Structure 1
Amino acid sequence: MPPDDLESAIEQGHFALSEIVKGNVEPFLSLYSEREDVTVGNPFGPFARGRQKVAETAAGAASRYREGEIVGFESVARYVTNDLACVVEVERFQAKVGRSDEFATIALRVTSIFRNEGGTWKLVHRHADPITTPQPPESVLQK
């Protein structure tokens, strides 16, 4: 699989995020594989597995954002084989979150895994969380 095709998939992912922060989940869902082994984990809840659960979870996340815009993307690492690609980034954006009328600046630590499916890179896993700075040991304890 030529690297340019992976670049295109990553760019589509960036566009999809620009839509999610406006409340539109459709471009994000179009990135995903049609297979049932897909997964997503976002800052709002536990992991979801399977097309239907991923769609529901992603739609729930998108519904929490309004009027957002991308600030930037920081590439941390990429690991690419002929069949799989792992992309690690920090995504930065501003949006109104939940019921707030104030814009929040958000940074997410994101890992995306793409699979080569018939010559097209399709998203099979995405994990995003807000941990982009050092945290105290107690931060892992449930309250």
Structure 2
Amino acid sequence: MKDGELDKVIEQDHEALAAFGLGDPGPKKRLYSRGDDVTLANPLGPPVRGWQGVSAALDAAAAMLRDGAVTGFERIAEGETTDPAYIVEIERSTTKLGGAEELSPVALRATTIYRREEDGWKIVHRHADPITTPRPVESVATP
């Protein structure tokens, strides 16, 4: 990316994912916009809109994880204007999911959109899901 400030925020976002896998949503939450238009679509719940919903969803998701560690990021695409910017990545980690005692590998396809605000770049949208390999068309059918 061209903007060093944005690169720093993306690095902080990657570091925040490590804390998130340990069950701590705080570092991730600090990176989000507090606007009514902020959105989150994570793999552990339905999409939410507005800071209150995003904050609650981050708390609920982090509470389901523990003992996690980031194992890597694969950048698929990125784009930056003066406002906004985005990245598309595969995020890889290991964590204990729910009440499990064993670590599980996790790979998420994630799109994050950042917006420049008065106090710097903030996340305004994140979508993450476990679709990282081809799947049969039937997999999109609702049960």
Report if TM-score (shorter chain) is over 0.5.
yes
CA displacement 1:34-58 (0-9 Å, x = unmatched): 2111000111111000111000001
Counterparts of residues 34-113 of structure 1 (less than 5 Å): 34-113=34-113
Aligned residue for 1:106, secondary structure, equals strand
CA displacement 1:85-139 (0-9 Å, x = unmatched): 0110110000000111111001000000000113611100001000000000000
The residue type equivalent to 1:12 in the other structure is Q
Aligned residue for 1:8, secondary structure, equals helix
The residue type equivalent to 2:130 in the other structure is P
TM-score (norm 2): 0.97
The residue type equivalent to 2:91 in the other structure is E
Distance in 2 of aligned mates of 1:96 and 1:31: 24
In structure 2, relative to structure 1, the CA distance for the partners of 1:119 and 1:52 (3 Å cut) is closer
TM-score (norm 1): 0.97
Aligned residue for 1:15, secondary structure, equals helix
Runs of at least 5 residues in structure 2 that lack an aligned partner in the other structure:
none
Aligned residue for 1:53, secondary structure, equals helix
Percent identity at matched positions?
46
Runs of at least 5 residues in structure 1 that lack an aligned partner in the other structure:
none
Distance in 2 of aligned mates of 1:117 and 1:129: 27
Aligned residue for 1:44, secondary structure, equals coil
Q: How many residues align?
A: 143
The residue type equivalent to 1:103 in the other structure is L
Aligned residue for 2:43, secondary structure, equals coil
RMSD: 1.3
CA displacement 1:57-85 (0-9 Å, x = unmatched): 01111011100001001111001100100
